[in-house]
Structure 1
Amino acid sequence: MPFIRATISDPQLDDATQQDLAKGLTDLAVTVLKKPLERTSVHLNLVPADRYYVGGEPVGGATGAQVEVTITLGTNSAEEKARFIAQTYELLQETVGLLPSVSGVALYEMHPESYGYNGITQLEHRRQQ
């Protein structure tokens, strides 16, 4: 049940690009991280460029981007996570364009007893399978 939040410094990002980005992030979660499509959520957080800073300065001519993904601890290998990070960065370049050199992708791994959906922890979902 991954939750993907992408913060992009472009509040004018057109609907088609937003859809491409959300679909691309979903596809990577499903194909690279082997997450279920029906439980993959994407939230795009579009912020004004003058509110996205690198080194204390506004990003200026580039689009600032940060992707944060919450997944269950122990469900992916180091290789899968590295591929996801690399391919997500490529997707950002393809969809939103020029990125500052510190645009990042972070995978947060939550313990299954501390993370869940539909009011049930991941640990309990595993027990019910």
Structure 2
Amino acid sequence: MTGSRSSSRRALLGAGAVLIPVAAVAVPVVQRAAERSAFLALCAAWHEAKDTHEQFYADNVRTFEDEQRVAGEIDRLDNVALRLEREIAGAPARTCAEMHAKAKVAERMGERASEDIAHSLVADILREGPGA
């Protein structure tokens, strides 16, 4: 019995030694997955902010006077979207899904898409593309 306990302990110690490298690899993988999820959530939040702004405007503005009356809320909603746009432009997109999400933001922005987002997207593609 003593011999089997000893070999069981050795087996457990050996298993623990194997788990350490796996854990060391698993933590960065989980962190990258969380970052990807965070980036996609950031893009989704921008679309939601734009939807909220558009719906608020449609529900509350019929005349110039209406627009003046709710200008503070319109500015607040604009600022939310602008803050998110700056975050998106400053964050690297590392996967095709992230690059697609960033491109959809730029597409929806249309002609007013900032050069920052365009340059950021090009940098993402060059950094992550073939031969990078």
Question: TM-score, normalized by length of structure 1?
Answer: 0.24
- Point out the structure with the larger strand share: 1
TM-score by length of 2: 0.24
The structure richer in helix per residue is 2
Computing the radius of gyration over CA atoms, which structure comes out larger, 1 or 2?
A: 2
